[in-house]
Amino acid sequence: MSKSDGIAAVIDHGAIAWSRGILGSVSTPPHEPLIRRVLGTNFLELKLRKLQITEHDMTSDIKICVLEGEQTFDVEGKGVGVVDALHAGLLARYAREYQSLTTVQLVGFKVAADIETKKAHAGVDSVGRVTIDVTNSEGKHFTFSDASRSVTISITRAMLAMVQYFLNAERAFVTLHNARRDALTRGREDLVSRYTAEMAEVVESTSYAEVIENIRKEIA
């Protein structure tokens, strides 16, 4: 491999499953149980199936295979480092439909090793926890974390969890708005009150998007 080719690494689903061995599940952010209940089977799960990274002198290229429900899609991105490349690729894939993603800002990123989990004497195989902190357009803070023996896999899963959360929050808010409007036409004040209260909760987990702002003005 020449220097211009960069350094490439490919991690397939088998490696991902192995890295999930100890902790593996991404943290659950606030309101996700409500968002899942509102969307039901329409909740969009994003799962990592394959990860490919090519590192150059100043940039990183990533290609990930994402399982969206029952379908797989390839997402590609380029940036200054893996996090930037993932962010660019995921926004290119999802932000055109879910505009709130463009107003979410990364405010913190850290990796911490749990040395107690090491298997080899050197300890370099320890489980690492990746934590990504973001804020929405209102300045509300959200944390997404993942732990495994592969830092790059955990970074990718945490970023996917962030995108999954905000796009589903946007979808849940619109779903509740439609349900509330239907309840109004049927004179179901009990349901109107319920959906209004749930919208007030879910909106805390959204970020600015024109569709969300228009709905907020309508029910104000």
Segments making up each domain of the chain, as ranges = 3-174
User: Taking residues 150-157, what's their average pLDDT?
Assistant: 92
The predicted pLDDT at position 22 comes to 39
pTM for this predicted structure: 0.86
User: Taking residues 119-131, what's their average pLDDT?
Assistant: 69
Using a pLDDT cut of 70, give the percent of the chain over it.
83
The predicted pLDDT at position 122 comes to 47
Q: Give domain 3-174's CATH superfamily.
A: Alpha-isopropylmalate synthase LeuA, regulatory domain (3.30.160.270)
> One-letter amino acid identity for 216?
R
User: Taking residues 86-109, what's their average pLDDT?
Assistant: 96
**What is the rounded CA–CA span in Å between residue 32 and residue 128?**
24
Closest CA to 150 of 59, 82, 66: 82
In this prediction, residue 2 has a pLDDT band, given cuts at 50, 70 and 90, of very low
Pairing of strands 46-55, 60-68: antiparallel
Determine contact, residues 162/104, Cβ cutoff 8 Å.
yes
Max Cα distance, the chain (Å): 70
The predicted pLDDT at position 114 comes to 72
The predicted pLDDT at position 120 comes to 55
Mean pLDDT for all residues in the chain: 86
- Residue 62 clears pLDDT 50, i.e. is over it: yes
User: Taking residues 139-148, what's their average pLDDT?
Assistant: 93
- Residue 124 clears pLDDT 60, i.e. is over it: no
Closest CA to 195 of 28, 44, 43, 34: 34
From edge to edge, which strands make up the β-sheet containing 141-148?
A: 105-114, 127-135, 141-148
Beta bridge mates, 46: 68
The pLDDT tens digits for 177-210 are: 999 999 999 999 999 999 999 999 999 999 999 9
The pLDDT tens digits for 3-60 are: 445 555 555 544 444 344 334 556 678 899 999 999 999 999 999 999 999 998 889 9
The predicted pLDDT at position 5 comes to 53
> One-letter amino acid identity for 189?
E
Using a pLDDT cut of 90, give the percent of the chain over it.
71
Beta bridge mates, 143: 133
The predicted pLDDT at position 1 comes to 40
Nearby residues of 179 by Cβ (< 8 Å), 6 or more positions away = 191, 195
